[in-house]
Amino acid sequence: MDTTEHQIDIKVRTAYVENQSAPEANRFVFAYTITITNIGSVGAQLMSRHWIITDANNKVQEVRGEGVVGEQPSLAPGTSFQYTSGTVLETPVGSMRGSYQLAGEDGIDFEAEIPTFTLAIPRSLH
């Protein structure tokens, strides 16, 4: 398989959602905005996602589901799709990683790895 055909670039921005969080109740809400760009030469449709969410107590949540934010976007070569979603942790710091499962227009299914990113309330990491 030519690896340049199926290439997805993933960029992540995170934010602490203070007005939905309740630190005294161990509830820390984070938003994340993800930009998915098809940098390959074949169009692809995002079919499903798999997240591994870990808090500072090493409590792990696994989330699997169809699409993202209720959509299964198609990405022609050179195009991007951006969405914002969120998660709730019991600790002020945690991390997320995972993968997207995509169907290439050439009939080949492939995965795009989402590198680990940190969720942290401001000023909690030095």
d(CA 113, CA 32): 16
Q: Domains along the chain?
A: 8-120 (2.60.40.1470)
Tokens of 123: 């000023």
Instruction: Please state, rounded to an integer, the average pLDDT across all residues of the chain.
Output: 95
d(CA 33, CA 38): 17
Tokens of 15: 């934010």
pTM more than 0.85: yes
pLDDT tens column, 75-104: 999 999 999 999 999 999 999 999 999 999
Residue 11 pLDDT level (bands cut at 50, 70, 90):
very high
Tokens of 46: 């995002």
pLDDT tens column, 42-54: 999 999 999 999 9
Closest-CA residue to 118 (of 95, 99, 98, 97) = 95
